Amino acid sequence: MIKAIIIDDERHCIDELSDLIGRVAPAITVVGSFQTVDEGIRGIRELRPGLVFLDVAIGDQTGFDLLKRVGTIDFDIVFTTAYDQYAVQAFKFSAIDYLLKPIMTEDLVRAVSKLEQKTTGQELARRLEALLHNVGSGDKRIGVPVASGLVFLQVNDIIRCESSDNYTLLFTVDKQKLVVSRTLKEFETLLVPYRFFRVHHSHLINLRYIKSYNKGKGGTVTLIDNSAIEVSTRRKEEFLKELSLL
């Protein structure tokens, strides 16, 4: 049995999530609910839950404020949030689980099943550190899954991403080459807002690191690591527009 608490400033959200947990997650028992950051901190310290469902916005404070104050985090966390692209992006970058409100049954089931893939306290601390960094900084840090676990990188340190079947190769400014168990499409979704551009179906590049562009049918772009990447004819016009904005 997993002992859980819910921290959310809206009573109807607490009631709906409690009811959903009771119906589809019998391994979880909700032992308390709290509607402010201060109450939530007291609840964590008194009840010592194994799992906290934590709202992002709690009155005029946030779940991030609670985490900064609570001390040692020896429990799993699933964030709950109304749709906010900024918050969702931060969770994705940090490999922290979240549920979008209104919470759907299948999303809760997915989140609970992921809890069975137990992370170490040290790894959870790294993920939370990355999340808090991403929420408070324009300099994003991303957690990428590799064979040994998770590696955290500054987004600005990634030169390019190359598709390799269902994996992606990441090349960084410090000459790392990482094999990551995510598709290039996933990286495109995450990184395009941060001046990355998919020049080819197999290549996503960081526009900051372009050395030169050579004309041709689609042309080729050379990056600071001296890699020469083909630009697809289909993407050429849009790519040249992006270059004109640099």
Q: Cis (ω within 30 of 0) for the bond into 102?
A: yes
Secondary structure class of 35 (helix, strand, coil): coil
Residue 138 DSSP code: S
**pLDDT grade for 84, boundaries at 50, 70 and 90:** low
The answer to whether the CB of 182 falls within 8 A of the CB of 193 is no
Angle, CA of 144, 137 and 238, to the nearest 5°: 70
Per-domain boundaries in the chain? 2-136, 141-245
Q: How confident is the model over 198-209, as a mean pLDDT? A: 96
- The pTM of this model reads 0.65
Choose among 67, 71, 70: nearest CA to 96: 67
Q: Which CATH superfamily is domain 141-245 in?
A: LytTr DNA-binding domain (2.40.50.1020)
What's the CATH class of domain 2-136? alpha beta
- Taking only the tens place, the pLDDT of each residue in 12-49 is 999 999 999 999 999 999 999 999 999 999 999 999 99
- Taking only the tens place, the pLDDT of each residue in 98-118 is 898 999 999 999 888 887 766
